Structure formats: C-alpha cells, structure tokens
Structure 1
C-alpha cells in the first residue's frame, strides 16, 4: 500500500504562527472562501470526514493527545498527504468553538458540487434562506437519515461550512452532496428533468401526506420566520402543509422539514 500520510508531526506552540492565523481565519466565512477550506472540530466529525473520502489537508491535535490507530489507517489510504500538527492548549482554545474542546481538528478542502451532479437523482431538498446554523445542521442530518440524495442551498442561506452547522449535522454533511446555487435557476432545471417541486406553507390546502413522493421529487423549505416568499411559491408545482391537532402556532423549520422528508421514506418502504 502506498503510504501518503506525512508521518512527521510539526509542533506549534505560538498562536502567532502564520499557520495558526490561517486556521483561525477559517472560523469566518470570508476566510473559508479565500482559502477554499473549512475547519471541523471534535473526534466524531474528524472520524466521519476521514471515512467519507473528502480531501483532508491537515489534522491538528493537542499536545496531550494521540492520533487513534483507526485514523492512521484511513490517512494511509488518502490520495493526498495529510499533515499532522500537535499544538499547545492555547492554540486549541483559539480554534475551538465549543466550551470543552476535545482537542482534535481537521482542515478539509471544500468540495465543489454542481446542479448537474444531482439531476440524475430522484429525491432532493432545496433550502431557501435558512439563516440559523443549528437549523441547517439539523436539516442536513434529517435529510441524510431520510434518504435525500442531494441538498441545494439557495442565496441567503447560512454557509454550510459554518462550525455550528457542521456540529449540528453530526457528520451527515459528509454523506451527501451539497450545492450552493440560485434557486431561480435551479427550479426550472429540475422541472426540465421531470422533478415535481413541492413547497411548504402552513396555509397550503393540501396535506403533505397526500402527495406521491415515489416519483422524482424536490422538497423546498423556506426561512424560519417568513417561510417561502410569494414569488417562490409561484415557482413550485404544489404547496403542502402539516395539519395541526393542537394549539401550537408553528413548528421549528427543522422539525417540519424532517416530518415531510420521512413521509417520502415511509412511502418508499411501504411500496417495497
């Protein structure tokens, strides 16, 4: 087997080191866009990205930590060298976005997917102006569990490489392609490829479980506070709602999205 892992470990103590400064910049959207990279934190997320086959550039870990043997096996199988950095606790604290950091990070190359890579699939999720990173991360996790084959993030949606999105998704963002694109351009393309585009609104006349999701389907969900804009509703083939039996005024967008996505899973399992 070809060993691609860089077995030399570089030790860094100072937060003023240029590499450390570039890593800290990855905590901002501008820094991520400039470098084409993103930072992930935590043992679970590093394990998931190593298993996913995405290009890991570096692994950073605390001076009191050791790289697990299972990680080394995955690193040896990597097509590109993965650089190891053992760093001081002060650097760990600068990189961390959690209160009690586990002391493991990875620098990962952003994967650039396009709408063309998704047109051959049959079940997609469109996200329009979701702004809370926790909501987006939960939506990605639910989409993964429900069998969604790709997610398209419209303009105004929070950056999927935001640290809280990654943590909330619990590794699921490494399991399916995520595309950032204009929904004004995407929706017509999907219809040309025989997708039915289903929007969501509490004021729709049709219940979500009345739809046939076994055909090529794209579910469209909107902003936490405003939902879908009127102009966006006009672009879809059908609007659906989740009927309420209690007195709650609304559902969290991540919960509502999960309910609709799993209806498709129910229909597929029932027909198999």
Structure 2
C-alpha cells in the first residue's frame, strides 16, 4: 500500500525542482511484485523493455551512459533522500521516487553489503546494425555464446579497463540486462559499447569494416604475443568447454593461443580475454 505523499523541494544547479515522493510498506504492493518479476525473468524484461538495477555506482553509471531511469526505490534506513537526489542529479525531473521499508529492500536486494537504492531502467537495443564505432582503428572484444553471467560481467569489466571500442556478443545465451551480469560487471554494462548478433552477422560486420579477426584457439594457432594488434582488431573468445565454433576458426585473420605450462589446456574465458585485450592495448600504447 501507499501512504503519505510528500513534496520536497531541492536545488540543483540554477533550477529548483519539486519531486513527488511516495512510500511503500507492503511486499504485496503491485510495484514490488513487478520488481521481483523484473529481477528474475528475462521474459518480463523483454516484454516491458526495462530492467532491474541495484546499487549506487550502477545507478550513477547508467545515467552517465545515457540510460533513462523510470523509477527509483530507496530505503531511507540505508540511504537518505538527499543522497538519492545527488545520485540522480538533473535526471530527477523525469523519475518517480518511492521510499520502501528495510524489510522490502532486503527481500529485493541480492547484496550482502546493501546500498539502499534500486532502479528500473529503460532498455536500449543492442542490435549490431546500430553499433557506432567512433574510431577508424577500433579494438573490439568478441565473446561467442557466453552463458555464465559472472563471466560476461568480468569480460565487460575487462573491456572497460582496456577501453575497448566495442564488446560484441555472438549468439547470446542470456540477455545483457540480467541483474547478475549488471552486478558482476559493477555497472560496466553501461560503460561499454555493446552489440549482439549471430556469429555470421558479426563476422560479416567485422570483415566489411576491414577489421582483423584474432580467434583464441588451440587449433592451427600461433602465440598471441607474436601478432600485431595495432591495426583494426577484433579479439574473439569462445566458451571454456567447447572453444570457438568452426565458423569463427575458418574466418579468422589468425588463430592465437596463450601458451600454458600446467596440466590443463584451457583457462577461464574472462581471464583469457583479459590477457589478450591487454596485450593489444600494450602494443597500441607503445606505438602512441
């Protein structure tokens, strides 16, 4: 149920805004039920074209990334109304604010270290045809059929750290706005230039742009540090159990491998992506 409507006035820049702010005290409230559905079900996220975000940094990064926040739910026992306004900045004009109890927040939250704020955010399309590369010499990280949200999140963090020009996900197995991906990426879903598509479409896209394709593989491959990544480059990683499909292996400029001295012949896909993308960054930084 809702109770108490408050109008609070606050100052941002040179303007004064008034924001209607409501309180929710029941887990049976339809909005809280909807939040739970949005958090748990990709079908609902696709249907409603929005997604669930938890955390101060993630919310801030979504705003910086040009995403539209539709609603904010905050727990005043953890974060103050004034702190929420600071996070939202000028975006507060278009956002509905709801104060929720600590009991509701704890049921919605996944984190052991609570931050007190949850956002519903409008999804952006990640169609390959809409991808805008802002440089003629891009460095792109491609992941084929990644499944584990933790790995996808780690790949996005790595791409952000290396300042890759784009992250392409071929044949995605989960939607990019899965809360577990957002959480494990610590908001780098919002800082990366992301597009999704089929393996065939991504290969065609890279080829049409004259981008060299380096596929991480054991078959017919050369050590990764022997290659030149200073030209337009896409580094492609596959799944840990199956690696890259033949379609990639047959269409690469060169297949590359990370030499390993231990017993196993594979490593975590996000670790491999980090090694490869940072070698490319090292070479480019040296050239500059």
> After TM superposition, is the score higher than 0.5?
yes
Higher strand proportion (structure 1 or 2): 2
TM-score by length of 2: 0.86
1:1-150 paired onto structure 2 within 5 Å: 7-27=19-39, 28-67=41-80, 69=82, 71-73=84-86, 75-78=88-91, 81-116=94-129, 117-121=131-135, 122-150=138-166
Deviates more, 1:78-87 or 1:63-72: 63-72
Instruction: Show the counterpart of 1:259.
Output: 275
Q: Provide closer, same or farther for how the CA distance between residues 45 and 68 of structure 1 changes in structure 2, counting only shifts above 3 A.
A: farther
TM-score by length of 1: 0.91
In the alignment, structure 1 residue 216 sits paired with structure 2 residue 229: no
Q: Secondary structure at the match of 2:94?
A: coil
Instruction: Show the counterpart of 2:173.
Output: 157
Displacement of 1:139 after TM fit? 0.5
1:220-239 paired onto structure 2 within 5 Å: 220-239=236-255
Q: Note the alpha carbon deviations across 1:115-168, whole angstroms, 9 max, x for none.
A: 342355411122111111101100000011112111111224332211121111
Deviates more, 1:162-171 or 1:251-260: 162-171
Q: Secondary structure at the match of 2:260?
A: coil
The question of whether the paired residues in 2 share the 8 Å contact of 1:4 and 1:80 is answered with no
The question of whether the paired residues in 2 share the 8 Å contact of 1:92 and 1:103 is answered with yes
Runs of 5+ consecutive residues of structure 1 not aligned to the other structure: none
Give the aligned CA root-mean-square deviation in angstroms: 2.3
Higher CA-based Rg:
2
Task: Give the distance between the partners of 1:4 and 1:261, measured in 2 at CA.
Answer: 46
Displacement of 1:100 after TM fit? 4.7
Q: Which of the pair has the greater relative contact order for Cα pairs under 8 Å at 6+ separation?
A: 1
Displacement of 1:73 after TM fit? 4.2
Runs of 5+ consecutive residues of structure 2 not aligned to the other structure: 1-12
Q: Note the alpha carbon deviations across 1:214-246, whole angstroms, 9 max, x for none.
A: 111111111121111123311222110001133
Number of residue pairs matched? 272
Task: Give the distance between the partners of 2:258 and 2:58, measured in 1 at CA.
Answer: 33
Q: Provide closer, same or farther for how the CA distance between residues 136 and 34 of structure 1 changes in structure 2, counting only shifts above 3 A.
A: same
Q: Provide closer, same or farther for how the CA distance between residues 201 and 177 of structure 1 changes in structure 2, counting only shifts above 3 A.
A: same
Displacement of 1:253 after TM fit? 0.7
Q: Provide closer, same or farther for how the CA distance between residues 111 and 200 of structure 1 changes in structure 2, counting only shifts above 3 A.
A: same
The question of whether the paired residues in 1 share the 8 Å contact of 2:162 and 2:278 is answered with yes
The question of whether the paired residues in 1 share the 8 Å contact of 2:240 and 2:267 is answered with no
The question of whether the paired residues in 2 share the 8 Å contact of 1:4 and 1:77 is answered with no
The question of whether the paired residues in 1 share the 8 Å contact of 2:60 and 2:88 is answered with no
Displacement of 1:6 after TM fit? 6.0
